């Protein structure tokens, strides 16, 4: 069966702080999403933010795909944790391995391939990206197969793509971010697929992010006091524990594209089915 390298972009020290709010590692979120669609696929962790090396005797081309999840870092900050990830992404593309990215992963790939990223002038998007609209290019693209023409998805980001990389197509957008899904061909005959939103997130993850950023959300106008924000986080946790809470799905307008785990992770399942697994059969 295929083996996917999941390249963690969050420094371990930061992840330890996030875990105090109930945030699982990005590796566990991605591995769970992958195995939801294909239980037998292997998943190998690698923290590129901290400069971890591949297992001895292993190269990037030994993997059937590379997945790059979210990160609290900003791609325009030239810290070692950022620059080493740009170098890693370019190495993955040069190896010809299919690459998937969510949020930070999309932004990282964009910069590695020659595009640009900025702080979103429209502000933060959390916890739901509303009315993501599929473009003409996305309508027939396998990445968004079975998605409706407009849908909601879980998200969390301050930054957005300013200029997409060469040889890319924008597959979806919404009012907050004009680029919500992208596909690109690399100079090394490889491919990249990614979303600004987080197909791998769960309602429990959204709850943790809301609570963790309660003070910032008040400062940004999402609420008048932190207790309001914490109460929203509590509702998300309650809905995660009991998905049949119709009162909560109605209150927050959360549809089946998010509530159904298979629907929520559509893009990851499509990438595995149309890119990773066929490539495995050819090798």
Average model confidence (pLDDT) for the chain? 96
Q: Which of 37, 157, 198, 201 is catalytic?
A: 198
pLDDT digits (tens, 9 = 90+) for 164-203: 999 999 999 999 999 999 999 998 888 999 999 999 999 9
Judge if 124 and 180 occupy the same domain.
Answer: yes
Same domain assignment for residues 239 and 144: no
In terms of domains, do 156 and 116 share one? yes
Same domain, yes or no: 174 and 251: no
Total number of domains constituting the chain? 2
Q: What is the pLDDT of residues 218-229, one digit of tens each?
A: 999 999 999 999
pLDDT of res. 50 = 97
Q: Is 281 a catalytic residue?
A: no
Among candidates 147, 203, 208, 192, which has minimal Cα distance to 172? 147
Q: What is the mean pLDDT of residues 17-26?
A: 95
Question: Are 105 and 125 in the same domain?
Answer: yes
Do 114 and 137 share a domain, yes or no?
Answer: yes
H or E element at residue 112: helix 104-112
Catalytic-labelled residue, pool 8, 37, 43, 103: 103
Do residues 11 and 38 share a domain? yes
Helix, strand, coil % in the chain, rounded to nearest 5: 40, 20, 35
Residue 282, pLDDT score: 59
At residue 17 the predicted structure's pLDDT band, cuts being 50, 70 and 90, is: very high
Active-site residue (options: 8, 200, 211, 267): 200
Question: Which residue in this structure is represented by tokens 């998943």?
Answer: 43
Q: What is the DSSP pairing of strand 99-102 with strand 191-195? A: parallel
List Cα–Cα distances, 47 to 88, 151, 167, 191, 263, in angstroms. Answer: 11, 32, 28, 22, 28
74 plus 145 within the same structural domain: yes
**43 is a catalytic site residue:** no
Collapsing DSSP to helix, strand or coil, 236 comes out as helix
- Write out the residue range of the structural domain in which residue 251 sits: 203-256
**52 shares its domain with 162:** yes
Active site residue 103: yes
H or E element that contains 172: strand 168-173
Q: Which helix (H) or strand (E) holds 43?
A: strand 42-47
**Residue 266: which CATH number?**
3.40.50.880
For 136-174, what is each residue's pLDDT tens digit?
999 999 999 999 999 999 999 999 999 999 999 999 999
Q: How far is CA 112 from the centre of its chain?
A: 17
pLDDT tens column, 105-142: 999 999 999 999 999 999 999 999 999 999 999 999 99
Output the pLDDT for position 279.
79
Helix (H, G, I), strand (E, B) or coil at 28: helix
Domain co-membership, 119 together with 218: no
- 223-254 pLDDT, tens digit per residue, is 999 999 999 999 999 999 999 999 999 999 99
**Residues facing 5 on adjacent strands:** 44, 66
One domain for residues 137 and 183: yes
Q: What is the pTM of this model?
A: 0.96
* Residue 281 predicted with pLDDT over 90: no
Do 51 and 148 sit in the same domain of this protein? yes
Number of H helices, E strands in the chain: 13, 11
């Amino acid at each position: 069966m295929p083996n996917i390298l999941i390249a963690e972009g969050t420094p371990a020290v930061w992840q330890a702080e996030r875990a105090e709010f109930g945030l699982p590692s990005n590796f566990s979120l991605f591995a769970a999403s992958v195995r939801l669609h294909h239980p037998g696929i292997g998943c190998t962790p690698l923290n590129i933010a901290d400069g971890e090396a591949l297992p001895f005797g292993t190269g990037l081309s030994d993997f059937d795909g590379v997945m790059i999840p979210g990160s609290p870092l900003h791609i325009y900050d030239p810290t070692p944790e950022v620059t080493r990830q740009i170098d890693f992404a370019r190495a993955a593309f040069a190896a010809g391995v299919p690459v998937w990215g969510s949020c930070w992963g999309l932004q990282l790939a964009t910069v590695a391939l020659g595009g640009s990223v900025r702080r979103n002038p429209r502000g933060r998007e959390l916890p739901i990206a509303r009315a993501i609209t599929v473009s003409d290019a996305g309508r027939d693209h396998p990445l968004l197969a079975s998605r409706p023409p407009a849908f909601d998805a879980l998200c969390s980001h301050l930054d957005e793509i300013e200029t997409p990389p060469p040889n890319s197509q924008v597959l979806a957008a919404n009012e907050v971010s004009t680029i919500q899904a992208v596909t690109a061909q690399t100079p090394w005959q490889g491919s990249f697929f990614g979303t600004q939103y987080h197909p791998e997130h769960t309602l429990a993850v959204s709850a943790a992010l809301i609570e963790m950023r309660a003070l910032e959300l008040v400062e940004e106008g999402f609420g008048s006091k932190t207790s309001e924000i914490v109460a929203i986080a509590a509702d998300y946790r309650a809905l995660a524990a009991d998905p049949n809470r119709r009162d909560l799905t109605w209150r927050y307008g959360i549809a089946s594209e998010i509530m159904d785990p298979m629907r929520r992770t559509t893009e990851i399942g499509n990438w595995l089915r149309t890119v990773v697994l066929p490539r495995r059969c050819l090798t």
